[in-house]
A and B are shown apart, each in its own frame.
Chain A
Amino acid sequence: MSLLTIAWSFCASVCLMLGSIHLLFWLRNRKQPVYLLSSLMAFSAGVSAMLELGLLFTESLYSYRILMRWENVAVFMILVPMVWFIQAYFGTARRWLAMTITLLWVLGLLINFLSPHSLTFIEVSELQHLTTPWGEVFTIPLGTTNPWKLLVDIASLLILVYVGDASVRLWRQGGQRTANVIGGGIMFFVLLAGIHTPLVDAGIIATPYMISFAYLAIIVSMSYQLADDAMRSAQYAQELQQSQQAVERLARANLLGELTSTLAHELNQPLSAILSNAQAGRRLLASKSAPLAEIGDILDDIVRDDQRAADIIQRLRKLLQAGEPVREPLDINAVLQETISLLNGEFSQQQVSPILAFGKGLPDVLAGRTEIQQVVINLISNALNALRDMPVDRRQLVISTTRQHDMVRVMVRDNGMGIAEEDLPRIFEAFFTRKSDGLGMGLAIARRIVEAYGGRIVAESTPAGGATFTVILPVAPGEQEAGDA
């Protein structure tokens, strides 16, 4: 097998492979034109390598002219995307230079097709055969150089200036690495190709054209840089996820902080009753004829209030439970009831009596109790906030549950100030808030939680004023058939 064939075929296949990889990157992320441009460049370099291989072994003048013409098209298709790649990727390149280079090459391409033979030669008169040191015979042309080729030689010089200028500016802005790898790479290899090719054209040195190798080197340096970018962004994504988790923990602590005063109030009630009852009992016992029946009642009440305090602490403990949420079949009505009683203090402070409309015989949903409670607390606390400016007697908060096929819907509706139309699409975004002291994480976390359980959360502005939040959770497997009423 010919070494020349192997070398050029190898170059072509590497170019095509890199081109495919860059194309895949672009398809995954179409907002990044750099991948499309570098992919175009790589494919063109691959085509160029194959054309060069053809030029090495062609025996007829006619096909040599055609191949030469198309080789110029391939070079155009390498250089122009490269120039615009620099434009897009560096962000420091001069646009007018890019335009000028493109224009020069478009002109060059026109001449390429209008000239009798190609942009390179006015006339290819003869094919010369040379022998490599290892004894392979290949073809080089002899002919008259096209004076219009000066256009694209100027373009090559401009590319050097353009890339050099953009790299220096990028370097100054702190992008030393990119400036070195891509800018330096391009300049070095364009220079190399720019010196080598005219020398071959002019018949001064007798080697094959090696344009594609120079651009392969450039494409490899680009790929290196782009792969590095991709790895970095994966790392950033991971870091972002970690900080998101931290923010979620923070938001949960924040929510609990808000609940502290209402919980203090909740605990105070039974404690207060226990104290007064005990003191009353002591007084009654000290009297001459202690009313034993009443003292019995007092003790019963003390036991009941003690239980009540213990329940509050139990619920709080469940809500505070750390660690991974456990998916378990949940009776959504029971979870809601528990959450609402946790918020009793909040309701009485805001003077809102929630209307509960729970569907009967709802199937269980598969979710984490604590997380669902967190979502519900968030929605209720938002609703209470929205009702703050309403007259007390008009404040309305409805919490309802219904079944919808194999989903369970939880709806929290208030008639408060509602959500502005333009805010609706953004309301679940992280850090989006209209509260002066809000983190903007509550609804973002709520959505993440609900979606993690295969559900959805929807916000609507109620026409009559107010907002409705609907959480839709899938029924736990094995529950679908049960109670399909």
Chain B
Amino acid sequence: MPDKSTRIFIIDDDHSVRTSLARLLGAAGYATEVFACAEDYLARERFDGVACLILDVRMPGSSGLELQDTLNELGSDLPILFLSGHGDIPMSVKAIKGGAVNFLTKPVREEVLLSAVKQALSQHRLNRERHDSMENVRASMATLTSREQEVMRFILSGARNRQIATHLGITEKTVKAHRAKIMGKMGVSSAVELGRVCTLLEITPNTITDD
């Protein structure tokens, strides 16, 4: 049964080619969608799940490489598999530099295509997960009050509760309460774990200088 949450988009101006690719991938258990040109694909509403793009390099209208540029500008993280009629080296170099995950030569063999698709999808899935966890951390951060954020940056620098209390002119007890709140909201159990999560978001620690 095709997995509905993943999708493979096939863009090729040749009807036979795109239909046959869709059939093959369909028979291998993937859900596919075909488009005759880049513009048709761009007109489609954004797909939210894990996906990859199989793209013909040579097409009338906007070419495969141009679509790649457009998608990069739009901030798309969709992995692109390029299909080319002839292994044109400058073209493939350009495609790979533009972030294409693979460059396949037509006619493409089943094993090659399927393993490339599998790799592209798992890469996208991984990207997604990393992206999602970042989003989670960012969302958690947003729930912190400004005081809590301030305290957190001192914690990240490795400051003790007493130092923080002195520095901020509050009681050590209040600092402890802030610390517990922060750990709870960020879903971590130790300062080390907090540090790891925050590195992901590139939050800078705030060191207390002795004055």
Contact = CB atoms under 8 A, between A and B. Distances in A.
A268 B16 contact: no
Interface in A277-306: 277, 279-280, 283-284, 287, 294, 298, 301, 304-305
B165 interface: no
A275 interface: yes
Contacts of A349: 58
Interface string B102-140: 000011111001000000000000000000000000000
Nearest to B21: A276
B180 interface: no
A288 B78 CA distance: 33
Q: How large is the interface on A (under 10, 10 to 19, 20 to 34, 35 or more residues)?
A: 20 to 34
Nearest to B59: A348
A272 B27 contact: no
A265 B86 contact: yes
Interface residues of B, number: 27
Interface string B31-74: 00000000000000000000000000011111100000000000
A353 interface: yes
Most central of A268, A271, A272, A301 by chain B CB within 10 Å: A272
A304 B16 contact: yes
Contacts of B60: 347-348, 351-353
A146 B137 CA distance: 129
Interface in A350-378: 351-353
B28 A277 contact: no
Contacts of B109: 275
Nearest to A277: B20
B interface majority secondary structure: loop
A274 B110 CA distance: 12
Contacts of B63: 351
Contacts of B83: 272
B19 interface: yes
Contact of B24 (A265, A280, A353, A392): A280
Contacts of A100: none
A327 to B, nearest CB: 36
B187 interface: no
A312 interface: no
A277 B28 CA distance: 12
B13 interface: yes
Contact of A348 (B28, B58, B107): B58
B17 interface: yes
5 contacts: A273-B14, A280-B26, A283-B28, A305-B16, A348-B13
Q: Which 6 A-B pairs have the closest CB atoms?
A: A276-B20, A273-B16, A283-B27, A280-B23, A272-B107, A265-B85
Interface of A: 261, 264-265, 268-277, 279-280, 283-284, 287, 294, 298, 301, 304-305, 308, 345, 347-349, 351-353, 392
